[in-house]
Chain A
Amino acid sequence: MSSSVIDLKRVYRSFKSGRDIVPVLQDINISVNRLEFLCLVGESGCGKTTTGKIICGLLPPSAGIVEFEGADIASLRGEDYRRFRRSVQIIHQDPYASLNPTQTVSEMLSYPLVRHKLAPRGRGVLQRVHELLELVDLTPVGDFVNKYPHQLSGGQRQRVSIARALTTEPSVIVADEAVSMVDVSIRIGILQMMMDLRDRLDVTIVFITHDLALAKYFAWDGRIGVMYLGRLVEIGRTQEIIRDPQHPYTRVLLSAIPEPDPEKTRSKQHIQLRSEDIPRLTELPPGCSFHPRCPWYMAEVCDQEVPELSVSFQSGSDVEVACIPLQRGTELVLHDA
């Protein structure tokens, strides 16, 4: 059996909006390997959440195939389908909106346990609730079981969301901006707890964030996939991408980010875009969708052919990029803004 748990193969997703058909995801190919730390990054609206929902089966693709443990999820029926849905869980972006305000922590966690018969009724359920709260470090457990969401801090709520995702004993968790809404001082603690879950419970975590520094921290020993306007433009080992980004969009992004170090951030060279306008998804430019903004754009190449992800010619690494000049091994020449 392959080492991947989830495979997206040529996945497309579009939405109707009035008369328009909005292509939100195009030709996404990703394999999520068992127990790897994979991060999807990109700016708002690039399709991260949509990809996450497709991975968990919350949203069907418009075209393409999603496989879970090698089986096309569209062909799963009955118990097989239910097992897939239980095995792949999502933690939503907003810890305030995603918890039912009228349920206590204990009720929230018991409900799926009872519904899916995941623990023996009565004592068994209670015991499992305790275990789950311990796993997410909400201890002493007694202080939390009977609390309502409004009695918890943002970070505690996010821990409850994680505990709830764990009730079904998933093998994959998609964590969508799981710490973006919590305070800086406690983010890393939650992230470390999630990283420990991999070792304690054998769960694979796909982490979605717009924060590349956070992605770097989470996926230091894993991979990062960079998305732009509904496509994956670069994917590969985190350390290589951070050290030596290939795709022009990734390079521009990394150069633009301020850093928490006055001397470093002030001496950083920022690569200027050719244009700051972000195209609409309904009016995507031909060829590479980044070409109107790309500082390395090559006329008559980048505006004609849509680049597919493949290994870059010169890098000597296995990072994949979707950029035709790079794939051909052409020297990139920086345009002035």
Chain B
Amino acid sequence: MSPMLPPDVVLKVDNLSVVYRTDRGDVKATANVSFELRNGEAMALIGESGSGKTTISLALIRKLPRNAVIKSGRILYQRNQKVQDVLELNSRQLREFRWNECAMVFQGAQNAFNPVLKIRRQFEDTAQSHGWTDKSAVRKRALSLLQLVRLDPERVYDAYPHELSGGMKQRTLLALGVLLSPQIVILDEPTTALDILTQRAIIDVLNDMQRQLNFSIIFISHDLSLAAEMADHVATVYAGEIVELGGVNDIFYRSLHPYTQGLLTSVPTLEHTQDMLQSIPGSPPNLITPPNGCKFHPRCGFADDVCMEDSPPLTADIGGHLAACWHKDRLIESRKTRV
């Protein structure tokens, strides 16, 4: 009865839809989202503010706000060849799942440390709530993780949160997140609001950690550069849907969706040449009454009658590069003529 997954898949999200109930109507924040996460890989969800990135990740650990309703879908999780649907876990199993299997570092969580508790207590409490009471063992593991995130372990372990800078807090959170050796770590905007040099330190630390501890990462960001640097696979999220999904090079060099393409031509680079940039016209749609057909059509230069009526399916190209667009050929054609 339990579904089968390929052995290297740790997570498979299948047709997930989430709405938020509000006075003005249902906000369709996640619509028919499907993807797979493999062992040891880093996957980026990119997209603009309000596109539904956080909603997807909150659904994965079932931490959605009260007014959220999961309308459909399965979230299959595999460990030791045993597959479970996260949506069917009872509350005890769920608690275990949240730290032991899938830890999340929330957006802006640097500010969410309990200010009156020393870092040590935050590690001990986390360990304890999962039945790990041997404090000296917790300490040993915590110190080695703090070392791994390139902090001064003894000093930080005995510090209060306010004694740490934003970047140090973010690194401490990463160490705390992997305390119970999860297979998956979800990072919501891990470097947003941090300074450039601090961002660089976090990226380097994450790469080190992943190499040593070999977990899978889902990270969410509106920063394309971060995805270019860290991700193996990238999913572009627009208006609650994954509109493109592929290997990082497919997305950055051979994008098959006008929205991803538009994002790429709207970010400046540091090269020594003048960038030829262009914004995407219009603004992202309201998710209570999203446009018919392809939700991107009001902003899309390729849109025609088909796009206005029918929603394009997310279909695969060679190499498993997925995109939901009726006019991939025209996009490819236009790229040829532009270069």
Contacts and interface: CB of A to CB of B under 8 A. Distances in A.
A111 interface: no
Interface string A141-161: 000000000000111100000
A189 B283 CA distance: 11
B197 A256 contact: yes
Contacts of B281: 189
Nearest to B198: A276
B134 interface: no
A210 B197 contact: no
A199 B275 CA distance: 20
B195 interface: yes
Interface string B140-182: 0000000000100000000000000101000000000000000
A44 B167 CA distance: 12
Contact of A187 (B203, B223, B266): B266
Interface in A228-269: 239, 242-243, 252-254, 256-263, 265-266
Per DSSP, chain A at the interface is helix
Interface in B211-259: 222-226, 228-229, 248-249, 252-253
Contacts of A217: 268, 275, 277
Contacts of B1: none
A213 B267 contact: yes
Interface in A201-217: 210, 212-214, 216-217
Contact of B284 (A183, A213, A216, A277): A183
B199 interface: yes
A270 to B, nearest CB: 6
Interface residues of B, number: 44
A186 B228 contact: no
A332 interface: no
A188 interface: yes
Contacts of A190: 279
A165 B201 CA distance: 38
B196 A260 contact: no
A257 B270 contact: yes
B228 A256 contact: no
Contact of B225 (A187, A253, A260): A260
A210 B48 contact: no
B195 A276 contact: no
B274 interface: yes
B48 A278 contact: no
A184 interface: yes
B197 A216 contact: no
B206 to A, nearest CB: 12
B266 A185 contact: yes
A214 B195 CA distance: 15
B195 A184 contact: no
A214 B268 contact: yes
A180 to B, nearest CB: 10
Contacts of A258: 199-200, 203, 223, 225-226, 228-229
A43 interface: yes
A273 interface: yes
B22 interface: no
Nearest to A278: B165
Given A183-B284, A188-B278, A188-B279, A260 B267 contact: yes
A81 interface: no
Given A257-B196, A276-B167, A184 B266 contact: yes
Contact of B252 (A44, A188, A254, A261): A261
Interface of B: 48-49, 150, 165, 167, 195-201, 203-204, 222-226, 228-229, 248-249, 252-253, 262-264, 266-272, 274-275, 277-281, 283-284
Interface of A: 43-44, 153-156, 183-190, 192, 210, 212-214, 216-217, 220, 239, 242-243, 252-254, 256-263, 265-266, 270, 273, 276-278
Q: Which 10 A-B pairs have the closest CB atoms?
A: A189-B279, A256-B200, A258-B225, A217-B268, A185-B280, A43-B195, A213-B268, A183-B48, A258-B229, A260-B224
